[in-house]
Every structure is written in C-alpha cells, then in structure tokens.
Amino acid sequence: AEDEVAVKPFYTPKGADTCLKCHDEDSALPVYAISKTKHAQPADGRTPFAGLQCEACHGPGAEHAVFVQPGEKQAPIGTFGKNGSMTVSQQNQVCLDCHRGQERLAWQSSAHERNGVVCVSCHQIHIAHDPVLATRSQPDVCYQCHSKARSEFLKPSKHPVRAGKMACGDCHQVHGSETAALLKQPTVNDTCYTCHAEKRGPLLWEHAPVTEDCRICHFAHGSVQPTLLKKRAPVLCQQCHSQFGHPSIPRSASGLPGNNPSVFLLSGNCTNCHAQVHGSNHPSGAKLMR
C-alpha cells in the first residue's frame, strides 16, 4: 500500500496527450505513428491504448513530462533499446507480460535471450508497419547481427531470400526453440520437409545421410556450388565413398573436353548414373540408379 501511494501520483494527468505534445513528428523521438498500430486499439482491452497508453510500457511519466528549461536535463522515463534506461530483462518483461503466446514458450534461455537481445532490437512498435513482420524486409533486420547470412544469400545458389520470396522466419523460430539454429520444427530435416516433402520417404533404398541431416551435403542458406551443395561433386561423394573401381579414382583434368571427356567428371558426374541421391523406392534402386 505504501508503494501504491508513492507511485500513483507519478502517472501523467492526460496520458498520451501529455507525451505527444513533445514527441511529435519533428522531435528526435517521433511516436505519432503508434496510433496506426495494433497496440493503439482502445476497443481491445488488452492493448496499451485501452489503459495506460504510453505509460503502460514506459512506466509512470509525470516527472519526465515536467517542462524543463533549455540546458536542463529531463527526468528519466523507462526507455527501450540497446541504450535504454531499463535492463534487458525489464524491457523484455514489459513485452512478455502480454506476448507470452505460443511461439514465445521457449524464449527464456534461448540464444537471443541469453545474448541480451531485446524485443525492440528487432521490432519497431512506433511505426505503422514493422519491417521485421514483412517477408521482403525481415532479412535486413536479421542481417544487422547475422551479416554472414546476407553474404550467403548472395551466393550463386541460394534460397530465394534476396528475391523477397522467403524470410528468415520461414525456417527459424527466432523467439526460442530447442532445435539447432532455432529452427521451427523439432529437427533440421523436419524443417526442410515442410517445403520439400517429396524427400521425406521412407524409401526402400535410403541414402543414410539424407535421413539424418540434410546439412551433411547441403548448406541451408547459399553456396558457391550448385544446388546448395557443400562441395563440388564428384569430390563431395568421394568423402564417403571409396569402393574399389570408379568411385575411388581421382577425377582430374584428364576427364575434361579436349582430353578424354569423362562421365564421372562432367555434367552431373556421379548423378549421371546414380541420379536418385535422395533415395529410391524402385525395387532395383539399390545403387540409386532406378
């Protein structure tokens, strides 16, 4: 009760109208556009603007709203972001108090949480359309920290992120997941299968690495090699196959055009014959040739 008496008077007398007097479009921190967002929906009792408006998130602001003379410092208020006045956990708790939905179940101790990422590191809540929620603009938000991913999506073979047809969130559960690399599905392969279901199998003649982890042969983002492969075949295949005969022979420049053009080196090389590298359901497909 003592706290209540102490805190209550420090809310502003007019809520957002007090704040917006200063934080207009010409200010250093313009926030007008928040009224275009779903946070600003008075008829939805869950939203800030159905209650304490700006102060629902930023905390009591009466002191901060006191007019000061030029050169004087404004009294502080709860602010967000990397250099915000609130700690990382305080900032995130403000958001999590309402946004504890399905996908944030595993936020605590997730990679982003442990590395001090705050919600507003990625989300912009004071503008009408948050870029991280749109497929076209989401990757640029992620690249701010994951610059290697931007480079990977520029490679000659890649998923269509640069073309604006895929976003990081199509595969990754950025709010926390127990899967490697914060994937949305319980395993790497399950994540890939959501778009590449033809490779689920199970097949009569399985190719063992395919059933275990697509990343044994493929990069997920992009590659300098065709079809997102980690290495160029036939060497890719020779990492794991060295039977007596043609699999174990080094395929050097002698197999190029002008010398003795080799089926083991050119075009699809190994897959010229063993085309069913993802497995075969053909009774005679034991060598992945049918």
Partner 1 sequence: ADNAAASVDTSAWKCAYCEFDQGVTATVTGGFGVVSKDSFKFGEYSGLREQGIYVIGDAVADYRNVDNASYWDISALNLGLDTRSLDMAGGKQGLYRIFLSYDELPHYISDSARTPFRGNGGARLTLPADWVTAGSTADMSALNNDLKDVDLETKRTRLGLGVMVAPATQWETSLKFRQETSEGQRQIAGSFYFNAAELVMPVEYTTNLLDAAVNYHGKSWQAKLAYHGSTFNNQNNSLIWPNPYTPMVAGADQGELALPPDNQFHQLVAALTLGFGDSSKLMADVAFSRLTQDANFLSATRNANVSVAGLPDDSLQGRVDGTNANVKWRSELSDKFRINAAYQYYDRDNKTPRRSFDWVITDVNVAAPRTNLPYSYRRNTFKLNADYDIASSLKTAVGYDYEQYKRTYQEVEQSQERTVWASLVSRSLDNADITMKYAHAEREKHGYQVVAGIDVPENPLLRKYNMADRDRDTLGLRMDVAASAQSTFGLAVDVAKDDYPNSSIGLVSSQESHLGIDVTTQVTKRTSTSIFLSHENIDSDVAGSQMYNVADWNGSLDDSFDSAGIGLNHIVMRDKFDVGVDYVYTTSRGRITYAEGGADSQLPEASTRLNSAKLYGNYRLSQALVLNGSYWYERYTSTDWAFDGVSESTVSNNLGLGQEAPSYRENVFLLAVRYKL
Site for partner 1, residues 26 to 55, rule: CB under 8 A: 32, 35-36, 38, 40-47, 49, 51-53
| Region binding partner 1 by CB under 8 A among candidate stretches 63-71, 72-80, 119-127, 162-170 | 162-170
Instruction: Answer yes or no whether residue 262 interacts with partner 1 by CB under 8 A.
Output: yes
Least separation in angstroms between residue 15's CB and partner 1 is 3
Instruction: Answer yes or no whether residue 70 interacts with partner 1 by CB under 8 A.
Output: no
Nearer to partner 1, 48 or 69 (CB): 48
Instruction: Answer yes or no whether residue 257 interacts with partner 1 by CB under 8 A.
Output: yes
Measured between alpha carbons, how far is residue 289 from residues 101, 217, 266 in Å?
Answer: 48, 19, 17
Q: How many residues bind partner 1 (CB under 8 A)?
A: 127
Residues 265, 194: Cα–Cα separation, whole Å: 33
Contact 54, 16 (CB under 8 A): yes
> DSSP per residue over 194-249, as a string?
TT-GGG----SB--HHHHH-GGGTB-SSEESSGGGBSS-TTHHHHTT---TTGGGS
Nearer to partner 1, 69 or 244 (CB): 244
Nearer to partner 1, 66 or 204 (CB): 204
Residue-wise burial string across 25-47, b where 16 or more C-beta atoms lie within 10 A, e elsewhere: eeeeeebeebeebebbeeeeeeb
Nearer to partner 1, 74 or 290 (CB): 290
**Local structure of 172: helix, strand or coil:** strand
Least separation in angstroms between residue 179's CB and partner 1 is 9
* Contact code string over 73-102 relative to partner 1, x by CB under 8 A: ---------x----x------------xxx
75, 76, 81, 287: which one binds partner 1 (CB under 8 A): 287
| Region binding partner 1 by CB under 8 A among candidate stretches 63-71, 72-80, 141-149, 167-175 | 141-149
The two three-digit tokens of residue 150, written as one number: 């931007």
Measured between alpha carbons, how far is residue 9 from residues 13, 85, 90 in Å?
Answer: 9, 21, 22
Instruction: Answer yes or no whether residue 204 interacts with partner 1 by CB under 8 A.
Output: yes
123, 137, 200, 218: which one binds partner 1 (CB under 8 A): 200
DSSP alpha helices (H): ranges in 97-225? 111-114, 119-122, 138-143, 147-152, 188-193, 208-212
Least separation in angstroms between residue 72's CB and partner 1 is 20
Measured between alpha carbons, how far is residue 271 from residues 191, 240, 257, 266, 277 in Å?
Answer: 25, 15, 19, 10, 7
Nearer to partner 1, 123 or 230 (CB): 230
Contact 41, 3 (CB under 8 A): no
Binders in 223-242 for partner 1, by CB under 8 A: 224-225, 230-232, 235, 238-242
91, 205, 214, 221: which one binds partner 1 (CB under 8 A): 205
Nearer to partner 1, 74 or 241 (CB): 241
Contact 16, 53 (CB under 8 A): yes
Least separation in angstroms between residue 77's CB and partner 1 is 15
Task: Tell me the backbone φ, ψ of residue 143, rounded to 5 degrees.
Answer: -65, -20
